Amino acid sequence: MKIQKEHIVNYNKKGIENHNQNFDFLANKLTNQGNDVNAIVSKLADFQVAIPSWALGAGGTRFGRFSFFGEPSNLEQKIEDIGVLHSLTQTAGAVSLHIPWDIPSDYNAIKEKANALDIKFDAVNSNTFQDQKDASESYKYGSLSNTSQAVREQAIQHNLDVIKIGDKLGSKALTVWLADGSCFPGQNNFQTAFQNTQDSLIDIYKGLPNDWKMLVEYKPYEPNFYSTVIQDWGASLMLANGCGDKAYTLVDLGHHLPNSNIEQIVSILQLKGKLGGFHFNDSKYGDDDLTVGSIKPYALFLIFNELVYGMQNNPQNPDLAWMIDASHNVKDPLEDLIQSLEAIQEAYAKALLIDQAALKAAQIDNDVVKCQEILQGAYRTDVRPLLEKARLERGGALSPIQAYRALDVRNSLIKERGKNTVATGL
Ligand code: AOS
Ligand code: ZN
Ligand code: ZN
């Protein structure tokens, strides 16, 4: 299914007057406060977030999975779904493929389809946490960290194959997330597991094209419940540094122990020029992969404050690979992703409103109250008219979620694909 531009234009007619009033009111207020509203709107319009190829169907837990009707059953259909998201939101202009779940059968056809929908190929993700059908070695006791050289070699080769696949599509980054770790004390020798991982990553790094990045994701637990080899940003950074300049740390919001100060982690990594990628989601207990901004929107805003500061002040840090990493267990995946994209844009817009010069002055004066007032003044602003404007300028929908429903997208997908299709993924 492809959403026609004129359908969006027609849908927008209903709300345009209301939008204009709200936008003018807000733009006036922000301009009087010294903001460059046009610059903010164009930054929002430029901000694109990759959609993972595995997040377009229903997610599940180890207790069960409840299918969602009309799920995409192949890569073409997944790209079409991202096309739907992108035409409504104008924010989902990239896909992040998971290999081997989404190996293209016809590279040219996939590239053409993505190109026609204005979708780029962002980081490619390897998978050494599941055994593959014809594989000779098993990852039950780890992959890049395994005590067996044969297992490590198979996992290294898989990552090299993923790079080759990504290269054919125009991707420029490999994301490595390892499930490696142990479930019981004594099961692993920590030092051996870490050293094996470092050596394996170096072998993968050697196969990285010059203009590529390697993104090393960390996670404190799950699926292993006693120890994880790359448990935190420190371990990830050590491994990235051990590989070289093209290796970076990737922060996934759900991969921290409760109450971790993620904004501080993000900030220091940027200072060191080592933040390469970012996975958005939200959580209450662990790696819950809930809709971005649904549980801790203020924390997301504080993280964006640091990201904006870094984007403005840390030229040593590269552009980031942004991706939503969520699981949709009870919601329509496309609606969930639309809500996530909106929450990301909202946090970004609020962070862009922070008066950095005033904040710096208040910090130097140790005016703690003023510092808080500046941050919360930005946070309390209803920035949604700015988001609407950014979408409108690119032909997106005033309200993507309402347009999605008004255009009856899910029913059209069910008509096209049937009820019982299943998307590959977790
Ligand atoms: C796993 O918890 C990580 O968040 C990964 O980034 C990702 O969800 C996984 O690679 C998907 O298969
Ligand atoms: Zn992730
Ligand atoms: Zn995760």
pLDDT digits (tens, 9 = 90+) for 143-196: 999 999 999 999 999 999 999 999 999 999 999 999 999 999 999 999 999 999
- Mean pLDDT score, 369-379: 98
| Ligand 3 mean position, distance from CA 59 (Å) | 13
Type of residue found at 375: L
Asked whether residue 425 carries a pLDDT value surpassing 70, the answer given is: no
- Shortest-distance atom of ligand 1 to CA 425: 12
pLDDT digits (tens, 9 = 90+) for 325-346: 999 999 999 999 999 999 999 9
Residue nearest to atom 3 of ligand 1 (CA): 177
Architecture of the domain made up of 5-417: Alpha-Beta Barrel (3.20)
Residue nearest to atom 6 of ligand 1 (CA): 177
pLDDT-derived band at 112 (thresholds 50, 70, 90) equals very high
Asked whether residue 423 carries a pLDDT value surpassing 80, the answer given is: no
Share of the chain above pLDDT 70, in %: 99
pLDDT digits (tens, 9 = 90+) for 271-298: 999 999 999 999 999 999 999 999 999 9
Judged by its nearest atom, the ligand closest to the C-alpha of residue 54 is 1
| Ligand 3 mean position, distance from CA 54 (Å) | 12
Q: Which among 391, 425, 389, 336 has a CA at the least distance from the CA of 30?
A: 389
| Annotated domain spans of the chain | 5-417
| Ligand 1 mean position, distance from CA 398 (Å) | 31
- Mean pLDDT score, 107-130: 98
pLDDT-derived band at 136 (thresholds 50, 70, 90) equals very high
Judged by its nearest atom, the ligand closest to the C-alpha of residue 251 is 2
Contacting residues for 196 by C-beta, under 8 A, at least 6 apart: 144, 145, 146, 147, 152
Asked whether residue 250 carries a pLDDT value surpassing 70, the answer given is: yes
Judged by its nearest atom, the ligand closest to the C-alpha of residue 174 is 1
Please state the φ and ψ torsions of residue 20, each to the nearest 5 degrees: -55, -45
Say if residues 319 and 312 touch (Cβ distance below 8 Å): no
Asked whether residue 51 carries a pLDDT value surpassing 80, the answer given is: yes
| Ligand 3 mean position, distance from CA 238 (Å) | 20
- Shortest-distance atom of ligand 1 to CA 254: 4
Residue 67 has a pLDDT of 85
- Mean pLDDT score, 245-267: 98
Asked whether residue 48 carries a pLDDT value surpassing 70, the answer given is: yes
Asked whether residue 131 carries a pLDDT value surpassing 70, the answer given is: yes
**289 C-beta closer than 6 A to ligand 1:** no
**252 C-beta closer than 6 A to ligand 1:** yes
Does the CA dihedral 53-2-395-339 come out positive or negative?
A: negative
pLDDT-derived band at 421 (thresholds 50, 70, 90) equals confident
Mean pLDDT of the chain: 97
Residue 391 has a pLDDT of 98
pTM (whole model) above 0.85: yes
**217 C-beta closer than 6 A to ligand 1:** yes
